Amino acid sequence: MALIVQKYGGTSVANPERIRNVARRVARYKAMGHQVVVVVSAMSGETNKLVALSKELMAEPDPREYDMIIATGEQVTVGLTALALIELGIKAKSYTGAQVKILTDDSHTKARIIHIDQHNLKADLDAGYVCVVAGFQGVDENGNITTLGRGGSDTTGVALAAALGADECQIYTDVDGVYTTDPRVVPEARRLKSITFEEMLELASQGSKVLQIRSVEFAGKYKVKLRVLSSFEDEGEGTLITFEEDNTMEQPVISGIAFNRDEAKITVLGVPDTPGIAYQILGPIADANVDVDMIIQNTGADGTTDFTFTVHKNEMNKALSILRDKVQNNIKAREIIGDDKVAKVAIVGVGMKSHVGVASKMFRTLAEEGINIQMISTSEIKIAVVIDEKYMELAVRVLHKAFELEEA
C-alpha cells in the first residue's frame, strides 16, 4: 500500500464528465489498495473570471478581499469531486485549505506555506476516505483566507505530499509530461522521460508553465517524488522529476528551452558610478514587494553608468513610478525608461556543467537570425537572454534545432 497525492489542474476538472474521469482514476488507485489524497484546481477559466470580476469593482483589489474571492473556484471543485467519488461508492471528503489547516504567512495573493496539519487528513485516510483538498488556498494565523499565487495548486499538492510523507506526488495536467519546449511553438518538441529537479526548477523559473515554481522548490527541499502525467490518458508514464545524484544516465547538454513574455525591462540611465547605487535603486523596489529578475550594470568610462533590470510586466508601472517619484532625484539619474515589448528565452541543462561552448553556440544561432540580445544571465545550468518580443518564437525554434532537441 502506498500513499499517493494526485493533483488535477483546471482542464482536468473543467466539467462534470471530466470530474467523473478523475473519480474513476482515483477509484482504480483505491482498488489497488492505495491511500489517495486528491488536490484540485478550479475549473479552467474560473479563477480568471473571478479575477476579472474583482477588478471590475476595484482596479487594484484589496488583497484580503481578492483572496477571499479567487479562492472560491477550488471550493466548488473539491465538493464536485467528492460527489463524483461518493457516486462511485467511494468514501470521500472535501477540505478547504482552512479545514486541513494549511497555515501560510499573511502575504495575500502570494502567500507561503508555513505548516500543514496532517492530523485530520491522516485520520480520514486511515478510516478509508479519499481526502479531496482545495488547491491554491491556505489560511493565515488570524484565520484570513490566503492564496499561493497563480498556479498554486501544484504547490498545495507537493506540500501535502511532503507533509504526509507520500510515496509519490502525481501532477495530472493537459499535457502528457514535460517537453523539451512548448509543442505549440515547436511541433517537434519531445516529451522527456525524466528531468532533474534542478533543471525543472530552472525551466519553471524561466517561464515553463507545466509546474508552478514553488511546487518544484518544495519537491526539491523535501525530496518529494514528483511525476507529471496527462489526465486524459490512462496509460503513459509521464515525466519523472529526478534528483541528479540518483541519475546514472549520461545527461544531454541541453534538456529544454523555456520562454516567457511576462517580463519588462527597466533602465535607469546616467547614474553616478558610486557605491550604494544598486541599493538605492533596488531597495525601494524590494520594499514595495516587486520581484526583480535579471540585473545588469556596466561601468561607464565617464563615471556614470546605466542600470538595467527586469520585473514582471504587471509591475512595470509600479516600479517606474517608485523610481521616478522616490529615487531619480536622489541618485541624479538622467532618465528612467520601461520597455515591456521584450521576451526572455532560456536554455537549460545540467549537461552544461561539463561542456564548453554552449553559450557561444546559443549566441551564434541567434546572431545568424539577426536577433539582437539585450540582456544575458547565466547560472551553472542555464543561459537566458532578453530579446525583442517579436523574435521570441523564432529564437525558440532555431535553438531547439541547433541543440538537436527533437532527437531522443
- Return residues touching ligand ASP (CB under 6 A): 9-10, 41-42, 47, 73, 135-136, 150-154
Strands 226-230 and 168-173: parallel
Q: Supply φ then ψ for residue 179, to 5 degrees.
A: -105, 160
Q: Provide the minimum distance between the beta carbon of 299 and ligand ASP in the complex, in angstroms, as a whole number.
A: 42
Residue nearer to Mg ion on the CB measure, 155 or 180: 155
User: Which does residue 135 touch among ligand ASP, Mg ion, none (CB within 5 to 8 A, set by kind)?
Assistant: ligand ASP
Q: Provide the minimum distance between the beta carbon of 55 and ligand ASP in the complex, in angstroms, as a whole number.
A: 15
Residue nearer to ligand ASP on the CB measure, 110 or 191: 110
User: Which does residue 152 touch among Mg ion, ligand ASP, none (CB within 5 to 8 A, set by kind)?
Assistant: ligand ASP
Element (H, E) at 46: helix 46-57
Q: Provide the minimum distance between the beta carbon of 151 and Mg ion in the complex, in angstroms, as a whole number.
A: 4
Q: Provide the minimum distance between the beta carbon of 196 and ligand ASP in the complex, in angstroms, as a whole number.
A: 23
Residue nearer to Mg ion on the CB measure, 9 or 177: 9
Contact set with Mg ion (CB under 5 A): 9, 151
Q: Provide the minimum distance between the beta carbon of 146 and ligand ASP in the complex, in angstroms, as a whole number.
A: 13
Cell numbers placing 104: 501560510
Length of the chain: 408
Residue nearer to Mg ion on the CB measure, 175 or 387: 175
User: Which does residue 225 touch among Mg ion, ligand ASP, none (CB within 5 to 8 A, set by kind)?
Assistant: none
User: Which does residue 252 touch among ligand ASP, Mg ion, none (CB within 5 to 8 A, set by kind)?
Assistant: none
Residue nearer to ligand ASP on the CB measure, 138 or 152: 152
- For residues 399 and 315, give the distance between their C-alpha atoms in angstroms, rounded to a whole number: 29
Q: Which residue has the cell 493537459?
A: 174
Provide long-range contacts, Cβ within 8 A and 24+ apart, for 309-314.
Answer: 309/265, 309/266, 309/281, 309/282, 310/263, 310/264, 310/265, 310/266, 310/342, 310/344, 310/375, 310/386, 311/263, 311/264, 311/266, 311/285, 312/262, 312/263, 312/264, 313/261, 313/262, 313/263, 313/264, 313/340
